Amino acid sequence: MMAGIILACSVVLLLQFFVSYCRSLIAASSRQTLSPEVQDVTGIQRTASGEDYTRVMQLLQLCPERPEDRNSIQAVSVYFRLLNFLRSTIARMVPTMQEWTELERGHCAYFAAVALERRISFSRDMLAEQMDG
Amino acid sequence: MGQRQGSAATDAREVTRITDGSRDGPGHGKDDQVPGPYAYTVWFVCTLLEATVLVCAVRKNAFRRYLLLNLYMAASVVASIARYNILSHYGYSSKEYLYFYYYSDFLLTILLFFALTSLYSHIFAELEVGRYIRTGAMVLLSGTALFSYAVVQQSSSRLVTHFVVEISQNLYFVGLVLTYVLWGAVLKLRETRTRLIQLILSIGVYFSMFAANYALQNLYQSRASIFEYLTPLFGCFLPLSWAYAFWRIPEEARTVPARLAVVPR
């Protein structure tokens, strides 16, 4: 009984902390404007939609990995899946939640586009180093 | 704590078995049980990440600002090295390793508890309530200790060892509740320091993962093998997220906390 209560409280709090943590990761990138070439490649101008996420992630996987980004990209991927789950279950019955999940999915896609931008400039730097060497 | 190798609900049973002498160990006979490659790898990665937190904090001039958090990470690294030494000298099933593991874990949990109260001090710095926070932390720690003692004194002949395991588990849940209160204060006081917010949220995720893990283990004791894989992985989250916060988020970075809340404010 006691373990059940602790489990329920912990899972609810875990979800709250996890969602807020992911949003804090996303918030840091939301103020960054994308370069024209990343805008061209991804098709994202100022705001992104949830549908862009998978495509941007595929582009992201084509670039060499930056170790410092790995943790945040994984956390946001889990968050995106959680949003998809909410969208296909509870959000079908609650219209405001449908809007919220779509907005959040768009933020995830924008975060992925910013990560793509960082990876592209990281690859360029690596290439420049190799050319100099 | 960071590099837990076993599952905590089974931990208490392990303590009972070993201290009762019903299990083989160096003190009793053969010593054939050792952590597998998975456990060693996660342990090594976790220790490496803890050391990385310290390096990141020093490089970004955040060591003194978040002194207790860094002391906790330093203590975790030292405990990890000492555990490895004892493990290689006495063996995994030895009483020496077991006692060192639980007593060091107990001290690390208390240190993490104080690290959490230091985050309170950061949030309430302008209100000059540091003395009240310290008093509150001591009262809460004493209360948890008394509660844990009350739980174990009826059921255990090995009182001190069981007490150490029990108080560690209870402190995780108390830590989780305290982090939630702290998060509430962050939202209420409109705290904007991004790095501080990420440190608090990481500790919240960490405490809630462990608290949920303990509860699950108590509910499904027959499936202990699953938790043996999961628990050490959870331990890697805190150093990973703190290293990220120190390295990637500058101290000057600001965010609007109301945007981060699950329920819009």
**Residue B9's closest CA among B148, B172, B169, B229?**
B169
As a whole number of angstroms, the distance between CA A13 and CA B173 comes to 11
pLDDT at B204: 94
Task: Tell me the three state secondary structure of residue B259.
Answer: helix
Higher pLDDT, A13 or B35: A13
Domain extent, residue A17, equals 2-132
Tell me the CA distances in angstroms from B42 to B2, B76, B226, one per residue in order. 10, 14, 15
Q: Does the structure show a pLDDT above 50 at B19?
A: no
- pLDDT for position B263: 57
Question: Does the residue B235 lie in any domain?
Answer: yes
Q: In the A/B pair of chains, how many CB contacts fall below 8 A?
A: 87
CB burial of residue B141 (10 Å; 0-12, 13-18, 19+): middle
* Nearest residue on chain B to A27, alpha-carbon basis: B255
Mean pLDDT of B138-166: 79
User: What is the distance between the alpha carbons of residues B33 and A120, in angstroms, rounded to a whole number?
Assistant: 48
Q: What is the dihedral of CA B205, B209, B210, B211, to 10 degrees?
A: 100
A88 touches chain B (CB under 8 A): no
Residue carrying the six token digits 């509910």 = B219
> What letter does residue B127 receive in the DSSP assignment?
G
State the average pLDDT over residues B205-217. Answer: 88
Give the 3-state DSSP-derived string for chain A, with helices as H, strands as E and coil as C.
CHHHHHHHHHHHHHHHHHHHHHHHHHHHHHCCCCCHHHHHHHCCCCCCCCCHHHHHHHHHHHCCCCHHHHHHHHHHHHHHHHHHHHHHCHHHCCHHHHHHHHHHHHHHHHHHHHHHHHHHHHHHHHHHHHHHC
Q: Touching check for A68 and chain B: CB below 8 Å?
A: yes
Nearest Cβ partner for A20 among B209, B214, B262: B262
Is residue B107, in this structure, part of any structural domain at all?
yes
Task: Indicate which of B208, B218, B221 best probes the interface with A, i.e. most A CBs within 10 Å of its own CB.
Answer: B208
| Contact check, Cβ <8 Å, B241/A6 | no
Residue-wise pLDDT tens digits, B39-48: 899 999 999 9
Tally the domains of chain A: 1
Query: What pLDDT was estimated at residue B30?
Result: 42
The CA distance from B250 to B62, in Å, is 10
Is residue B254 helix, strand or coil? strand
Instruction: Please spell the DSSP secondary structure of B67-85, one letter per residue.
Output: HHHHHHHHHHHHHHHHHHH
* Cα of B64 vs its chain's centroid, Å: 21
For B222-228, what is the mean pLDDT?
Answer: 76
Query: Collapsing DSSP states into helix, strand and coil, what is residue B193?
Result: strand
Q: Which domain holds residue B51?
A: 10-259
Q: What are the residues whose beta carbons fall under 8 Å from the beta carbon of B216, sequence distance 6 or more?
A: A7, B227
The count of structural domains within chain B is: 1
pLDDT of A111 > 80? The answer is: yes
Segment A95-104 mean pLDDT: 88
Most confident range, picked from A29-33, A35-39, B76-80, B257-261:
B76-80
Nearest to B8 by CA among B237, B150, B221: B221
Neighbouring residues of B132: CB distance < 8 A, sequence distance ≥ 6: none
A6·B261 Cβ contact <8 A: no
DSSP state letter for B92: T
Q: What is the CATH number of the domain that holds B87?
A: 1.20.1070
Closest chain A CA to residue B216 = A7
Distances (CA, A) of B119 to A61, B32, B238: 37, 43, 15
pLDDT digits (tens, 9 = 90+) for B82-137: 999 999 999 888 888 988 998 899 899 999 999 999 999 899 887 777 778 888 88
Q: Is residue B26 scored above 50 in pLDDT?
A: no
Residue B72 reports pLDDT greater than 80: yes
Assigned domain for B265 exists? no
Q: Which two tokens stand for residue B123?
A: 């949030």
Identity of the residue in B205, B215, B259 whose CB atom sits nearest the CB atom of A3: B215
Query: Residue B32: is its pLDDT beyond 60?
Result: no
Residues B192-218: what's their mean pLDDT? 90
Residue B253 within any structural domain of the chain:
yes
| Residue among A23, A11, A83, A21 nearest B212 (CA) | A11
Average pLDDT score over residue span A7-14: 89
Tokens of residue B40, six digits: 């060693």
Contact A6 B211 (CB under 8 A): yes
Q: Which two structure tokens, joined as six digits, stand for B95?
A: 């009483």
Per-residue model confidence (pLDDT) at position B155: 67
Q: Which residue, B85, B97, B112, is CA-closest to B2?
A: B112
- Residue type for position B77: V
Residue B14 lies in a domain: yes
**Residue of B169, B171, B262 to mutate, testing the A interface (most A Cβ within 10 Å of its Cβ):** B262
**A78 is written with which tokens?**
């889990």
Determine the residue type at B99.
Answer: Y
| Interchain contact, A21 vs B241, CB within 8 Å | yes
- Say if residue A76's pLDDT is above 60: yes
